[in-house]
Amino acid sequence: MGSDQDLMWVSEALRLLRGLGPSYADHPGAFWSIINASTVKVLSLMPNMSILEGESITSEGLRVLIQSIRIENALVAGLTGYLCYHILINLEVNRNLALAVNLAISCATPTLLAAAAIRHELVSVVFMLISCLFLQKLSNPEASRQLRLAHGLFCVFMIFAAAFSKQQSLVLLPFIFFVGLASVGLKNSCLLREWLKQWKSLQAKDTSLLLGIWSLSWAISATPDIDLINLPAWIAINCTITGVISLALYRNISIPSVICKASIVTAIIEITITRLISANWWRQAVTGFPSWLAMFTNKPGIGNEQSALYFDNLYQYFKLIFLLPDISVASVAICALFSVYIVIRALTTQNQTSGFDSPFELSVATSWLLGCVVIVACLLRFNPPYTIYFFPCLMISSTFIFSNKLRAKPRGFNSIGLLKVLSFFIIACGILRSISNLRDLKQIAHAGLPEHAICMSHNMDSSMNLTAIASCPDFKSKSAEKAIFNDWWRGPL
């Protein structure tokens, strides 16, 4: 029959086909709702294929649909390692090493778990990785202004696609941005330096204007569900998106007008997607980031109890993705500390005597730190599929540092040399852990939920009345309760 999320996204898709708003927005989960609805449409056009009877799906139609979307899900899962491979190639990583990391990510526990279940963690990561690839394309000095703008806009749309799949993926945005900047710094250092000068040249009035535009665009998007605790996060998100667009626009545009224009484009895109396209329930979930996630975190403990919980979550996460989790945790922690050191030195150094190649190495070290920030965010709630958020981050950053000839060598200590050794260890542990998963493929592929999971309230919708779900207790009452979500623009009422 399938897992609870398989059935949930089918019921959500059938609601969309009936012109109703979504009833589930925790993720908010737009991708599989839309893909399932499209798949139902396609399957319904095939001869001798009985998918729907009226507005209800048949048992045979449900079986065929779940088989179809599981194939689609496996294809999405296969993209993860492939995209990471091309990101690493754009970072001038050795092809053999990039291929090894590609295979490690493809066979990693979170990727295999995602391939075996219809969830949105992996989908949102795939969208973020695609956005990173298109951000890297902005490093091409020979691309026309129109092509650069197209790449930049597509990058932004992929960011929103990720957010509407799983808003939690927005914690990846700073990492993706700095990895993209590192690629630009490698291939077109002059462009990166000139682009940074644009931002440094901003006057106080320009900064105030930008903050106003970023804040106003979020306020319009979030109204009437404004929670000011989310404002700093959305200023940072809109600043990053503005950075992408300004990098795409940078050519023959006066400073700082390119940044102001980019901020206006950011506001237009954000408001258009959230107010004119998105269902109200999906909009609330996205614009409510990050406070929306608080309801799904582990219940807070007290003092040492809470710290012990976080450390236990960290160990359990690393146990899933690295061969030697204890040593891997220590290696990541040391790398984070030395990355802080590199960032501080790069920011405070006014000349080249220290050996730092800023801003390129600043981007490298910052990307590593931001990968660690993603880990910290995932510690708030232990869930094995969440490892897909930070495992590619750690592997990309480690491979980048190990493979490239960074030149930061402060007098008295070679911090980059230590980072390279630790990065190699992290890469090796990740690859070996993924190889060990090959013997457990059958077990992971058949991992699922107990039979009673089909009676979860998320699955209950009147369109499922011809399936086994209709035999669940309270099916009619639970289905009727979803009427408050029926209005696309105003639900839940």
Q: Which residues, other chains included, contact 159 with Cβ-Cβ below 8 Å and sequence gap of 6+?
A: 127, 128, 131, 173, 176, 241
Contacts of 102 (CB under 8 A, 6+ apart): 81, 82, 84, 85, 88
Predicted confidence band of residue 195 (pLDDT cuts 50, 70, 90)? confident
Whole-number pLDDT of residue 1: 41
Per-residue pLDDT, averaged over 346-355, amounts to 54
Mean per-residue pLDDT, 316-341: 88
Q: What is the pLDDT of residues 255-312, one digit of tens each?
A: 557 888 899 999 999 999 999 999 999 999 999 998 887 766 655 555 556 678 888 8
Distance between CA atoms of 51 and 37, rounded to whole angstroms?
12
Nearest to 86 by CA among 42, 27, 44, 136: 136
Q: Which position has the higher pLDDT, 9 or 409?
A: 9
| pLDDT tens digits along 356-383 | 455 566 666 777 777 788 888 887 788 8
pLDDT of residue 428: 94
How far is it, in rounded angstroms, from Cα 168 to Cα 386? Answer: 10
Helix, strand, coil fractions of the chain, as percent rounded to 5: 75, 0, 25
Between residues 182 and 493, the one the model is more confident about:
182
Model pLDDT, residue 100: 94
- State the pLDDT at residue 191: 80
Q: In the structure, what pLDDT confidence band is assigned to residue 46 with cuts at 50, 70 and 90?
A: confident
Distance (Å, rounded) from C-alpha 267 to C-alpha 336? 34
Q: What is the pLDDT of residues 126-163, one digit of tens each?
A: 999 999 999 998 888 778 888 888 999 999 999 999 99
Whole-number pLDDT of residue 410: 46
Token pair 């220290």 is at which residue?
354
**In this structure, is the dihedral angle defined by the CA atoms of residues 196, 198, 202 and 206, taken in order, positive or negative?**
negative
Q: Is 412 left (phi over 0), alpha (psi -120 to 50) or beta?
A: left
Q: Residue 231 — pLDDT band, cuts 50, 70, 90?
A: very high
Give the global pTM. 0.91
Per-residue pLDDT of 212-222, as tens digits, reads 999 999 999 99
| Average pLDDT of the chain to the nearest whole number | 84
What is the reported pLDDT for 380?
79
Indicate whether 414 pLDDT > 70. no
Q: List, in sequence order, every residue forming a beta bridge with 229; answer none if it has no partner.
A: none
Note whether 396 and 84 are within 8 A (CB): yes
The Cα–Cα gap between 440 and 428 comes to 20
Q: Is the pLDDT of residue 385 over 50?
A: yes
Token pair for 15: 């609601």
Checking if the pLDDT of 58 tops 50, the result is yes
Least confident of 50-59, 126-135, 250-259, 337-346: 250-259
Judged against a pLDDT cut of 50, whether residue 352 lies above it is answered with no
pLDDT band, very low/low/confident/very high, at 407 (cuts 50, 70, 90): low
What is the Cα–Cα distance from 450 to 452, expressed in whole angstroms? 6
> To the nearest whole percent, how much of the chain has pLDDT over 90?
39
pLDDT digits (tens, 9 = 90+) for 164-180: 999 999 999 988 988 88
Query: Residue 188: left if φ>0, alpha if ψ -120 to 50, beta else—which one?
Result: beta
Tell me how far apart the terminal alpha carbons of the chain are, to the nearest angstrom. Answer: 32
* Spatial separation of the C-alpha atoms in residues 51 and 35, rounded to whole Å: 15
Looking at residue 170, its pLDDT comes to 93
Q: How many whole angstroms separate alpha carbon 84 and alpha carbon 479?
A: 41
